Amino acid sequence: MTAVPASTPDREPSDSVAELRPRRRPNLGEEVAAHIRGGILAGRLKPGQRIDQDAIADELGVSRLPVREALISLDREGLVHTIPRKGSYVARIDRDDIADHYQIFGQVAGLAAARAVARLDDEGLAQLVDLHERMSRAESLDEQQRLNHEFHRTINLASGSPRMTSMIQLLARSLPMPYADFPPEWLDEANRQHRDILDAFRRRDTLAAQRSMEQHINASARHAIEVLERLDFFEDE
């Protein structure tokens, strides 16, 4: 199970120093972006639809500035397409776009896992095993998501690469489907894939860890597409 865009799919700090800083409240631009993103994924905002900045500002009780900031962020994520002097429109996203996003995310997360194999000591590995076991036993979805986030966060921080964890953070934040909406069978599959990742770490097998992590993330794409299909997200001909 990956980090929830929430981590979920993972929201990784850019480096270990970030752990010493108090957790900040999301700024208005991020909150507005989350609101618009949710409207797109839920189908309230349709592909090709022009996004009314004034209406969103009025709805949320904010100025147009955080709305503009949100649209810039969503344009970078590929959920919004902005045309100069014309406005911002909901992007048309197909199944291949979803799969591509997860594949890219999986490749970066796989590199982080490969790097972490050599850097994670026995104490860190024991912590990773404990997180996996607690997640397997957890009954609350919120607790499962929290432990999943910590599982991936532990690996990503162990990579020792601020650049890599920053990229993972960006990709996780813009995952096109929140894990909270995934079907229950995804959790069982994710737990099995976590075991494969752990086995690779126990053997200190760099290649196996990278491959297992990539496969784990890529498998999430299938579930994301299935959920979005049930929401009639795609414009089928």
Tell me how many domains the chain contains. Answer: 2
Q: Is 131 helix (H, G, I), strand (E, B) or coil?
A: helix
Q: Is the pLDDT of residue 10 over 50?
A: no
Same domain, 126 and 222: yes
Same domain, 67 and 184: no
- What pLDDT is recorded for position 142? 80
Same domain, 43 and 99: no
Same domain, 101 and 200: yes
Residue 63 exposed, middle or buried by CB count within 10 Å (0-12, 13-18, 19+): exposed
- What pLDDT is recorded for position 125? 95
Q: Does residue 109 fall inside a structural domain?
A: yes
CATH number at residue 84: 1.10.10.10
CB 202 within 8 A of CB 125: yes
Percent of the chain scoring above 90 in pLDDT: 51
Q: Is the pLDDT of residue 41 over 90?
A: no
- What pLDDT is recorded for position 68? 94
Phi, psi of 21 (to 5 degrees): -90, 145
Helix %, strand %, coil % for the chain, to 5? 65, 5, 30
Q: Summarize the confidence of residues 45-58 as an average pLDDT.
A: 93
- What pLDDT is recorded for position 180? 55
Instruction: At 17, list the tokens.
Output: 């120093």
Q: Is the pLDDT of residue 13 over 70?
A: no
Q: Summarize the confidence of residues 153-159 as an average pLDDT.
A: 95
Same domain, 32 and 103: no
Q: Which of 204, 203, 217 is nearest to 115 (CA)?
A: 204
Q: Does residue 115 fall inside a structural domain?
A: yes
Give the integer Cα–Cα distance in Å for 195 and 197: 5
Same domain, 110 and 70: no
Q: Is the pLDDT of residue 69 over 80?
A: yes
**Mean pLDDT score of the chain, rounded to an integer?**
84
Q: Does residue 55 fall inside a structural domain?
A: yes
pLDDT band for position 186 (cuts 50, 70, 90): confident
Same domain, 85 and 98: no
pLDDT band for position 42 (cuts 50, 70, 90): confident
Q: Summarize the confidence of residues 42-66 as an average pLDDT.
A: 92
- What pLDDT is recorded for position 12? 40
Cα angle value 168/175/162 (rounded, 5°): 10
Q: What is the pLDDT of residues 208-234, one digit of tens each?
A: 999 999 999 998 888 888 888 887 778
Tell me the whole-structure pTM to 2 decimals: 0.74
CATH number at residue 138: 1.20.120.530
- Who wins on pLDDT, 174 or 146? 146
Listed residues 90, 115, 143: the one ending a domain: 90
Same domain, 129 and 79: no
Which residue range is the domain that position 51 belongs to? Answer: 28-90
Q: Does residue 216 fall inside a structural domain?
A: yes
Q: Summarize the confidence of residues 16-26 as an average pLDDT.
A: 39
Same domain, 149 and 70: no
Same domain, 44 and 156: no
Q: Does residue 49 fall inside a structural domain?
A: yes
Listed residues 61, 90, 119: the one ending a domain: 90
Q: Is the pLDDT of residue 126 over 60?
A: yes
- What pLDDT is recorded for position 109? 96
pLDDT band for position 236 (cuts 50, 70, 90): low
Q: Does residue 197 fall inside a structural domain?
A: yes
Q: Is the pLDDT of residue 144 over 80?
A: yes
Q: Does residue 69 fall inside a structural domain?
A: yes
Listed residues 52, 73, 90: the one ending a domain: 90
